[in-house]
Amino acid sequence: MANASHEMRTPLTTMSGLLEGLSYDVFPEEEKSRAYALMQKETQRLIRLVEENLDYEKLRANKIVLRKQKIDAYKMISDLSNQLSNKAAQEETTIDVLGDQQAMVFGDQDRLTQVLFNLINNAIQFTQKGQIKVSVGRQGNATIFTVSDTGIGMTAEQVDNVFERYYKADPSRMSTKGESGIGMAIVKQIVTLHDGDITIDSTPNVGTTIIVTIPDQQTVN
C-alpha cells in the first residue's frame, strides 16, 4: 500500500494543482487546453496503475484462467515488432526479427503477447540510436524467446531487483515515460504460470539480453 500510494501521489498532486488553478481561473485562456490535456493524461496514468495492480494480484493469486494452445511464435514477435517499430524509430533505434519462422509455442496468446510487448517496449525505452533483436527458436521441448538490446543496461543489483513490484532500474527516466514499475513483476508471474523461466544478462552501457523459456509440457491452469 505504501508503494502504491507513492506511485499515485504524483499524478494526484498534479491534477489537484491544475484543478485549483482552473477553479480560480488563474490560467490564461491559451493555457487551459494544455491543463485539461495534462489532467486527462494523469487520469489515464492512474487508471493504468490501478488496472496493472489488479492484474498482478489476480496473477499472483492464480485467479487467472489461461487459455493455452499452440501459437505461431514467429508471427507473434513479428507482429509486435511491427507494432512498436515507429516508437523505436523515434529513439533512432531499429528492431530486427530473427529465428525459426516455423517455431510454435504452447501458451495463452494474450498473456504471452503481454510478456513480449513489455520486454520489447522496455528495450525501446532504454535504447537510443541502437539496435534491438527479437528472436524465437526451439530447444528440446521448449520455445525460447530472446530480446536483446544495445541500451543503457543494468547493474547486477538492478537485475536482482527488476522483478520486484514498483522497482524502477532508472527512476528518473521511467518517470518521464509515465511507467508504473509493475510491468516486469507481471511478466514474471505470467512466465511462472506457464511453468517457464526468465533470465537477464545485462551490462551497464553495453545492453541487456532477456531470455524467456516456455516448455511444451505444463501443469493445468
**What is the DSSP secondary structure assignment for residue 103, as one 8-state letter?**
-
Angle, helices 29-60 vs 2-23, to 10°: value is 160
* Residue-by-residue DSSP string for 36-85: HHHHHHHHHHHHHHHHHHHHHHHHHTT-PPP-EEEEEHHHHHHHHHHHHH
Residue 26 contacts residue 64 (beta carbons within 8 Å)? no
pLDDT tens figures, 102-154? 999 999 999 999 999 999 999 999 999 999 999 999 999 999 999 999 999 99
Alpha-carbon separation of residue 113 from 20, 84, 155, 166 (angstroms):
41, 13, 27, 21
pLDDT tens figures, 56-92? 788 877 777 888 999 999 999 999 999 999 999 999 9
Phi, psi of 217 (to 5 degrees): -95, 120
Residue 199 contacts residue 163 (beta carbons within 8 Å)? no
Q: What is the pTM of this model?
A: 0.76
Distance from C-alpha of 139 to C-alpha of 211, rounded to nearest angstrom:
12
Sign of the torsion formed by the C-alpha atoms of 34, 39, 40 and 46: positive
